[in-house]
Structure 1
């Protein structure tokens, strides 16, 4: 800004007003960055970025036409990065860059370049805001799912008989258990222990007797670890420009509580005879093994969010949408219409 103010031509442009306005934008940007507290920090950064871009546009109005011609390659890269190839402003600047000779532009060409730069900055700000909004949404969902998982673990630890995550014998074995001696009763297995089948044949009472306060905690922890492994394995697929929003980290953190919940929900579905042939597990190791599988299977539910994250991180200039041509009139097949 100091350089532009010292090198401008006062006789050609009203540099004093432009310089005052540009310095005001810079002061506002400094206040937005330094005076915004943490909950609204992102909004302050967005506002500061808009003021910095406005100050840069004013600098382009202040510099001489020769200096603007020297800046043209850098400005053209900014325009090509943020505007689609079919944009008229981008095409005009590319034409100016090819046809400008002698190192000097006209005032009308200056205005064309400034308009294109302003629109490129607007497109850049929209992409940054979109990426930050997506990252904040993913973080909110990750925190919400984590709270749900912690709540389930606490409630089931306090009341272990609320919904035991245990498995017992098949219905045929249950009926046969009533006619055998007590030492030969089938076993009911849970993630952290096991117990004998109830003498009266009540499966719910058998589950409540064998359940432990840490069953859900262990299952969620195993699902959490399985989701962490799958998240680490899928991070290499997320490619994009590095930004302050850190979308890959938000997506990885979303998988962790999702894995804990899918492990619990998958075992509950098996306990409710939802999966034919997998309603009776024989040991605690099998329960933990299926918790690992269901925890890793969270990728089936979060892959849609991953795809959206890749799209957000690799936006690129979107091509202009051209109106479709009206359909041609078809000739009647038989005679007149």
Structure 2
């Protein structure tokens, strides 16, 4: 009698992860684990290192697979799980220096130098010392005894310096992202509060312009088209300013570059422009109504008022472009495999200096020409 087929075991399904950085963390953890297994030797030192590396890799995987339920928003703002995942990965890579082969150390020292030079200035003593130990004083390939403990310690120290500075830069990026989001939220609440105030007391903040009609009588032009301040004037102006801000954000995307960080700074910048457009539009019309700009206070139709509101909403770019520059500065300091934007493109060599010509030698006249006339 034939034996029944054994029930095939279903493969274990990997948990669903939201966010590309989670997949990167898990993939790098698997790579480090495979590299560690390739260095297996029978010894107490290797087993101790393996236990420590496995502990950090498990912690990194746990942070990447963390479920976001009750503490999701708090973790997203503080970046606790992102910081934990990358910190444990960095610790595992530092511990791997003790067991990797000499060939891997020799091949990877340039990457360690690049990490240090990206996070510190080249004049920093740590950068200078790391370059001296890992480049200038690195042993030749034919030396069987080196790189030894001294070189491994220098390599490990350089990685620790680079990873610590890199984590600080990522923390600055997260803090800057949070400031952008909180500023956008505050301006949104302020715009909504002013709009609600306009619906309750329309005469308190008037966006109407007084003009002289053809018969000499005074007439008011309001955003909503009424003959006096209306309940929806402020909301209408802010909505058009919001539209102008969104158009400005769409145009600004052309100059934005993506970022490899898990923090959406470009998205936060785009969100900031929306309530900024609403508030700038409202503030600009109030300044025009108060004749702050001479010659620009005579808006004699609702169409002109709403057109100015749209243009002023787009003009918020004049205010937020300073924030865009600061964002680019913060992102440029994050270590990346791409060339830094602060590096200047190679320029053509300077033209050679003009050739110096030797002045012609003065011809000495004969002695008879020097003699005065009549001396013969």
Q: Distance in 1 between matches of 2:182 and 2:251?
A: 23
Larger-gyration structure (1/2)? 2
Deviation per CA, 1:208-235: give whole Å up to 9, x if none. Answer: xx22222112111111111111222223
Q: Assess if the C-alpha contact under 8 Å between 2:237 and 2:282 holds in 1.
A: yes
2:301 aligned with 1:259, yes or no?
no
Counterpart position of 1:329:
none
Deviation per CA, 1:106-139: give whole Å up to 9, x if none. Answer: 2211111111111111121111111111111101
Deviation per CA, 1:244-285: give whole Å up to 9, x if none. Answer: 212111111101100100111111111122222223311011
Q: Distance in 2 between matches of 1:286 and 1:3?
A: 69
Q: Assess if the C-alpha contact under 8 Å between 2:238 and 2:281 holds in 1.
A: yes
Structure 1 or 2: more helix by fraction: 1
| 1:168, distance to aligned residue in structure 2 (A) | 0.6
2:256 aligned with 1:238, yes or no?
yes
Q: Of the candidates 136, 148, 159, which is equivalent to residue 95 of structure 1?
A: 136
Q: Assess if the C-alpha contact under 8 Å between 2:166 and 2:334 holds in 1.
A: no
| 1:73, distance to aligned residue in structure 2 (A) | 4.6
Counterpart position of 1:84:
121
Q: Of the candidates 40, 47, 68, which is equivalent to residue 75 of structure 2?
A: 40
| 1:83, distance to aligned residue in structure 2 (A) | 4.0
Q: Assess if the C-alpha contact under 8 Å between 1:92 and 1:112 holds in 2.
A: yes
Partner of 2:294, secondary structure, is coil
Residue correspondence of structure 1 range 40-189 to structure 2 within 5 A: 40-41=75-76, 42-86=79-123, 87=127, 88-95=129-136, 99-102=139-142, 105-169=147-211, 185-189=217-221
TM-score by length of 2: 0.70
Counterpart position of 2:58:
27
2:305 aligned with 1:287, yes or no?
yes
Q: CA RMSD in A?
A: 2.7
TM-score by length of 1: 0.78
Partner of 1:169, secondary structure, is strand
Unpaired runs of at least 5, structure 1 = 196-209, 320-337
**Which has the higher mean CA deviation after the structures are superposed, 249-258 or 19-28?**
19-28
| 1:80, distance to aligned residue in structure 2 (A) | 4.2
| 1:76, distance to aligned residue in structure 2 (A) | 4.3
| 1:240, distance to aligned residue in structure 2 (A) | 5.8
Q: Distance in 2 between matches of 1:224 and 1:118?
A: 46
Deviation per CA, 1:133-162: give whole Å up to 9, x if none. Answer: 111110110111111112222221233233
**Which has the higher mean CA deviation after the structures are superposed, 185-194 or 68-77?**
68-77
Q: Distance in 2 between matches of 1:263 and 1:6?
A: 63
Q: Which structure would you say has the larger RCO, counting Cα contacts within 8 Å and 6 or more residues apart?
A: 1
Residue correspondence of structure 1 range 212-231 to structure 2 within 5 A: 212-231=230-249
| 1:293, distance to aligned residue in structure 2 (A) | 2.4
Partner of 2:262, secondary structure, is coil
Unpaired runs of at least 5, structure 2 = 1-32, 343-376
Residues 67 and 194 (structure 1 numbering): CA distance in 2 closer, same or farther, change over 3 Å?
closer
Residues 157 and 66 (structure 1 numbering): CA distance in 2 closer, same or farther, change over 3 Å?
same
Deviation per CA, 1:8-44: give whole Å up to 9, x if none. Answer: 4445x71222221222222222333416631123112
Q: Distance in 1 between matches of 2:313 and 2:108?
A: 54
Partner of 1:187, secondary structure, is strand
2:297 aligned with 1:297, yes or no?
no
Q: Assess if the C-alpha contact under 8 Å between 2:97 and 2:155 holds in 1.
A: no
Counterpart position of 1:308:
326
Q: Distance in 2 between matches of 1:316 and 1:140?
A: 22
Matched residue pairs, number? Answer: 293
